Amino acid sequence: MSPPETANAPKPMRLLDQVRDKLRKLHYSPRTEEAYVGWIKRYIWFHGKRHPREMGEAEVEAFLSSLATQRGVSASTQNQALCGLLFLYKQVLGVQLGWLDGVTRAKRPERVPVVMTRQEVALVLQQMQGRDWLMASLMYGTGLRLMECVQLRIQDIDFGYRQITVHQGKGGKDRFLPLPSALIPGLQEQIRASERLLAGDLAAGFGEVSMPESLVRKYPRAPFEIKWWYVFASFDRSRDPITGRIKRHHIDPTGLQKAMRTAVQRAGIMKRATPHTLRHCFATHLLEAGYDIRTVQELMGHRDVTTTQIYTHVLQRGGSAVQSPVDALLGGGVGVRAAA
């Protein structure tokens, strides 16, 4: 006869809580956690709240197909949903994946990135000011991704060696980037602003900056040290969703996205330029200046050089590679007829 359950016996962890716990132990970003949990939840609801252990390849394929046929999601969104389900079955449920490895991944369309000319970048930056201008200039000057920019910590900037260190970038890689000399005064002032925020927080009984919990356990005082603070710290304190403690986080990236959209419109640029476009411009303009593709690959943090080669396609498109036959015709003395 089994012993009776006591009132103090721990309740079994719910499935989605198990997913969150595993993601945090493996140091996935909060955004990835939010995305994976969201897709797993939709997957369960799609199949009438059945437990994933009771389902298999057919159910996964049906869910992914519905995303494309009924909701019209992009290939990248569909693949993100698949990654979430892969994580669920592999990491949380420990299911053997002989069948799941055969699930078809959506093929992403090959698109040439939007790139602005140097003159267009200058026009856009002229429409920005303050912290937005500094962040946009930094992304263009170093090739930083948007989240790498907002998550930049003070100790990641080495003014002596004029370089920026990106820790655990996309793909888990560290890389070193040149620090633009023109941005040093602005970055130093931004760091002084973070120092003032820290002083005010400490005086108010706070002063902790958000950090990975594994580092906090190893270095308990680190969240209160200025070197760990974000260069672009948020103006407001917030409650950490994991620990419940009041901390200072980095700024919301949507602020720069809105500022960039407004600047592009005011500059009269007709291209669909976003903050990520500045990263594309960084790579393209380096190649235009004669830097070799391996150097650009290293700076961009691309695992494979074929990813970097897309920027050579940008350079080769249009009139710079091929002369239009109409230019040959009209340039040969044939009169120009005005459009009706």
The one-letter amino acid at 149 = C
The one-letter amino acid at 274 = T
Q: Which of 152, 38, 22, 184 is nearest to 89 (CA)?
A: 22
Q: How far is it, in rounded angstroms, from Cα 278 to Cα 120?
A: 11
* Whether 117 contacts 124, CB under 8 Å: no
List the catalytic residue out of 90, 167, 170, 237: 170
Q: Backbone dihedral region of 233: left (phi > 0), alpha (psi from -120 to 50 degrees) or beta?
A: beta
250 is catalytic: no
Q: How far is it, in rounded angstroms, from Cα 213 to Cα 262?
A: 37
List the catalytic residue out of 145, 161, 196, 291: 145
* Paired tokens of 32: 């990835």
SS (H, E, C) 172-230: CCCEEEECCHHHHHHHHHHHHHHHHHHHHHHHCCCCCECCCHHHHHHCCCHHHCHHHCE
Question: If you search the block for the tokens 């955004």, which residue do you land on?
Answer: 31
31 is catalytic: no
Q: How far is it, in rounded angstroms, from Cα 283 to Cα 140?
A: 9
Classify residue 171 as exposed, middle or buried by CB count within 10 Å of its CB (0-12, 13-18, 19+).
Answer: exposed
List the catalytic residue out of 279, 280, 291, 317: 279
Q: How far is it, in rounded angstroms, from Cα 308 to Cα 314?
A: 11
Return all residues near 76 (Cβ < 8 A) that are at least 6 apart.
106, 108
258 is catalytic: no
Question: If you search the block for the tokens 């943090």, which residue do you land on?
Answer: 301
Which of helix, strand or coil describes residue 157?
strand
105 is catalytic: no
- List active site positions: 145, 170, 276, 279, 302, 311
